[in-house]
Structure 1
Amino acid sequence: MKLRLCLVASFTLVASGAFAQQIDSLAFIRSKRMSDADLTKKREGTFVTGLPDLSSDPVTGFGVGVKTNIFWNGTRANPLFAYTPYLMRLRANVAYYTSNARELTLSLDVPYYKGTRWRYRLDFKAQQNPANLYFGSSEATLGRLRLPSDPTTTFATYAAYNAARKQLRPGQPGEAAQVSDALSNRFRETEFMLNLKADYALGKGRWRVMGGYEIQHLAYTTFQGTKTDAVHPSTGEETTAPNGFALLQRDSQQGLIYGLDGGWVSIVQAALIHDTRDFEPDPTRGLYFEAANEFSNPIIGSQFSFNKLFFQGRAYRKLPVGKRTVLAGRVGVGNIFGERAPFFEFQDQWSPDGSINALGGRQSLRGYRANRFLARSLAFANAELRIRLADVQLGKQNFGLGVAPFADAGTVRDRWQNLGFQDVRFSYGAGARIAWNLSTMLYADYGISREDRLFYFGIGQNF
């Protein structure tokens, strides 16, 4: 007999007898059940979480904006209520940063559409960021920091390196008479992106296959010749001067990187996913594994040709300590194939659960600047101990307060065959966490490495 589903205009699924019978027949729904403690805190109905977006990142600077989520949760009588983070979520974020970076993102997520095995996602992004960092695109970035104008001089800390870049120096052929290197490793990126994805749950639902398509338009500008901050080396007097050669521009001219002219990028995405997490926004138990691939080629309308392969594994285990103590870990390995793969694809790894900037920054090595280590292949690992200290009820709002000490490790190579445990970079630190109505996570992390001390705060779990 064919089972039917009833869907009301508010997108809330009605728990009819036939629908309940269908849910019972899908084993993958039962494997996703939330813990009883979290289930008691989950809100019913449709509600909005919106707050001023106050964030801080060492590269993009202090950010202000608005982050909003509209959740459609349904009622507790709904058979899906205990097994999904939401029936549907619409996210809209706008942000502006002191570095003059700005971003607009829209995201629609519909898990288990109409109680079926299908999940649909739609993402749109428009952003401009003049504060991107570039230190090189090979495993040589694992070495100490070096000035583009004087690669023989190295620096143990980012603070010393940053101070040296501002020193006035005589211009080389093609530069002004006196120049500064303050913006030598920065560039501006302008991006418009639209992404469509769908995945289907296999068997008991622990495995899913995903397919997607993404179209981007990218444009890049360096600051070669732009007037910037400078310091007179003998007097310490602050002044201004034209910026010297940009490292990214120099590498492009020498044929070390491709893609500086930007253009259209057309990508077909595919992934195999294994997921047993109990609650996606903030799991207490379960495993997550993915093998993700992006393919770009002129035959699908792209101006670039490359293939990116990324493997990621995560594990979550609730410990018998305190109210809610979770040990969380992640390992990721990726490689970019294609002799002329564009440099901008080295900067992140695509994941169906959210792309990961690599290698350095909040998502990978929190004690190093974003893109500090960049090459064709990379491997990294993260571990966090997420300790819930208290739960606070303010009106209808529930807030879970906690801390999260962490440790990160990672490395890069020019060939995936050379990935190993040599030249690994480490960082560590601790963070605070606030779980707002379970689904919205606020974070504040302080990362430490032998090169830097960095502070971040914003919205969302690291993994």
Structure 2
Amino acid sequence: MVPRKKLPPPLTNDQFDDQVKVVTIPLPVFASSPNEGITYGALTAFLLHNKKDEVSTLLAPQVNLNKNFGTTFSLFGAGYPSASRSWEFNLSRSTNVNEDYELKLRDKTFFNEKLETNLFVFGLTDGSARFFGFQSKSRKDDETNYGDREFGVNLSLGYDLAKNLQVVAGNRLKSVSIVPGAVKTLPYIRDRFTPQDVPGLDGFTVHAQRLSLVYSTLEPRDLPEDGLMARGTIEISSPMLGSTAGYRHYEVEVKKYLPHNNGRFTGVGRLSYNQTLGSNVPFLERSILGGETTLRGYGRNRFIDSSYVLCNLEERIRLFRWAVFDVTTDWEIAPFVDLGAVMESFPEVSSKSFEFNPGIGFRAVVRPNIVGRVDLGVGKEGPAVFVGLGYPF
């Protein structure tokens, strides 16, 4: 128990008692992913409980070791002061190439909670980035490494047109540089590809505006267990507003949650289609599959082209509910299947283009807002393991 006056805002607010329950959980870290390799270290999670005995604030300092990045020091924090407000930050710096500074803010307290604002500010360098070439036929033998350095801001405003219908307008501004990476066992991207072959290799700027229409009956909002979400988005990048190239993104996404057996089992499915139209579109702005949120049998950005089709299916099964360090946690297992393909345009899709990634996930869920995740997927190039926070979709 810690006096609230020693935990100033935004760590606490009037939703906390004068004496705040703080649960401290030291944990080992062991992770492996296709791009980053093996990482190990330690973290300590500090969980701050509000008056309802819910985890309302999370702080997690961490130290990791990785043969590519050296030693990485990081501090992650997330707060959920109310159902209408949340914040999240990450501060991370390694001794070799990698760095990550992020701030996310969400607020839906304006205009009688009809207007939702989301702000994301970031600066990062990912020294594990990969490029194999374009199209679904890109070969493992052509794998290259580089450092993806980005700085930018993403702002969106969503207004509730009806109970379950929202229109969202957004603006995205970022600057991208391609620098030498941290994986010295692979060739540098510029040693195998030229800027004429790969637009954006000399760096690029994006200033894009988007408009989305979202229908959602998901409940609850942060960790949905039931409902439907359908979203259509168009985004336009124009040189007239500062972008390096002019192009358009179109995306349609549908997610469905089907609880059964009193919520112990939840079937979750996602179907999405993405298309990018334009000339000289930077390679990192095209339609991309691979990684912990799309095809979990491959590393991030494994397949790049002008369009993609993606289907994710998983069954989230609650094995048991257990209080660890006075924190009530749902322990879940989640067999899944990821199916997706990239292509120049949708009419060109064929069965040979699709990647089939079966796998299994293990999750620790602290409701109403925190998920720890380990997902193991299998692709044609072998297994891939991802460790992180939040559900993959």
User: Quick check: 1:217 aligned with 2:226?
Assistant: no
Q: Which structure has more helix as a fraction of its residues?
A: 1
Alpha-carbon RMSD across the aligned residues, in angstroms, is 3.2
Structure 2 CA distance for partners of 1:99 and 1:314, relative to 1, 3 Å:
farther
8 A contact 1:53–1:95 mirrored in 2? no
Whole-Å separation in 1 of the counterparts to 2:194 and 2:244: 17
Shift of 1:312: 1.0
2:380 equivalent in structure 1 = 450
Larger RCO, structure (CA 8 Å, separation 6 or more): 1
Whole-Å separation in 1 of the counterparts to 2:283 and 2:265: 40
Structure 2 CA distance for partners of 1:42 and 1:361, relative to 1, 3 Å:
farther
Whole-Å separation in 1 of the counterparts to 2:65 and 2:273: 27
Shift of 1:368: 1.6
Shift of 1:369: 2.1
Whole-Å separation in 1 of the counterparts to 2:260 and 2:68: 35
Shift of 1:190: 0.9
8 A contact 2:210–2:236 mirrored in 1? yes
**What SS does the aligned partner of 1:260 have?**
coil
Structure 2 CA distance for partners of 1:443 and 1:228, relative to 1, 3 Å:
closer
Q: Aligned match of 2:79 in 55, 58, 70?
A: 70
8 A contact 1:306–1:341 mirrored in 2? yes
Shift of 1:377: 0.8
User: Quick check: 1:145 aligned with 2:140?
Assistant: yes
1:336 equivalent in structure 2 = 276
User: Quick check: 1:252 aligned with 2:194?
Assistant: yes
Shift of 1:264: 2.5
Shift of 1:67: 2.0
Whole-Å separation in 1 of the counterparts to 2:61 and 2:334: 23
Shift of 1:414: 1.4
**CA deviation vs aligned residue, 1:55-90 (integer Å, no higher than 9, x gap):** 9999989976322112212xxxxxxxxxxxx22111
One-letter code aligned to 1:271:
S
Question: Based on CA coordinates, which of the two structures has the bigger radius of gyration?
Answer: 1
**What SS does the aligned partner of 2:304 have?**
coil
Shift of 1:215: 1.2
2:261 equivalent in structure 1 = 320
Shift of 1:98: 8.3
How many residues are aligned here? 349
Structure 2 CA distance for partners of 1:330 and 1:395, relative to 1, 3 Å:
same
Shift of 1:102: 1.8
Tell me which moved more, 396-405 or 335-344.
396-405
Tell me which moved more, 308-317 or 63-72.
63-72
8 A contact 2:136–2:353 mirrored in 1? no
What are the ranges of 5 or more consecutive residues in structure 2 without an aligned counterpart? Answer: 1-9, 16-49
Alignment of 1:238-387 (within 5 A): 246-248=188-190, 250-253=192-195, 255-320=196-261, 324-346=264-286, 358-387=288-317
1:200 equivalent in structure 2 = 159
Alignment of 1:61-140 (within 5 A): 65-73=74-82, 86-96=83-93, 100-113=97-110, 115-140=112-137
State the TM-score, normalizing by the size of structure 2.
Answer: 0.79
**What SS does the aligned partner of 2:137 have?**
helix
Whole-Å separation in 2 of the counterparts to 1:65 and 1:427: 31
Shift of 1:114: 5.7
**What SS does the aligned partner of 1:417 have?**
helix
One-letter code aligned to 2:141:
R
One-letter code aligned to 2:203:
G
Identity over the aligned pairs, expressed in percent? 22
Shift of 1:227: 11
Whole-Å separation in 1 of the counterparts to 2:135 and 2:319: 43
Structure 2 CA distance for partners of 1:190 and 1:286, relative to 1, 3 Å:
same
Shift of 1:247: 4.5
**What SS does the aligned partner of 2:240 have?**
helix
Tell me which moved more, 184-193 or 391-400.
391-400
Shift of 1:101: 2.0
Whole-Å separation in 2 of the counterparts to 1:130 and 1:420: 33
Structure 2 CA distance for partners of 1:341 and 1:263, relative to 1, 3 Å:
closer
**CA deviation vs aligned residue, 1:395-426 (integer Å, no higher than 9, x gap):** 76332211111111111111233235442111
1:191 equivalent in structure 2 = 150
**What SS does the aligned partner of 2:347 have?**
helix
What are the ranges of 5 or more consecutive residues in structure 1 without an aligned counterpart? Answer: 1-8, 14-40, 74-85, 148-183, 230-242, 349-357
1:32 equivalent in structure 2 = none
**What SS does the aligned partner of 1:111 have?**
strand
Tell me which moved more, 99-108 or 277-286.
99-108
Tell me which moved more, 191-200 or 445-454.
445-454
State the TM-score, normalizing by the size of structure 1.
Answer: 0.68
Whole-Å separation in 1 of the counterparts to 2:95 and 2:378: 23
Structure 2 CA distance for partners of 1:434 and 1:365, relative to 1, 3 Å:
same
User: Quick check: 1:400 aligned with 2:330?
Assistant: yes
**CA deviation vs aligned residue, 1:23-81 (integer Å, no higher than 9, x gap):** xxxxxxxxxxxxxxxxxx994799312224589999989976322112212xxxxxxxx
8 A contact 2:79–2:86 mirrored in 1? yes
Structure 2 CA distance for partners of 1:59 and 1:140, relative to 1, 3 Å:
farther
**What SS does the aligned partner of 1:371 have?**
coil
Whole-Å separation in 2 of the counterparts to 1:61 and 1:398: 35
Whole-Å separation in 1 of the counterparts to 2:81 and 2:390: 19
Structure 2 CA distance for partners of 1:460 and 1:59, relative to 1, 3 Å:
farther
Structure 2 CA distance for partners of 1:306 and 1:211, relative to 1, 3 Å:
same
Q: Which structure has more strand as a fraction of its residues?
A: 2
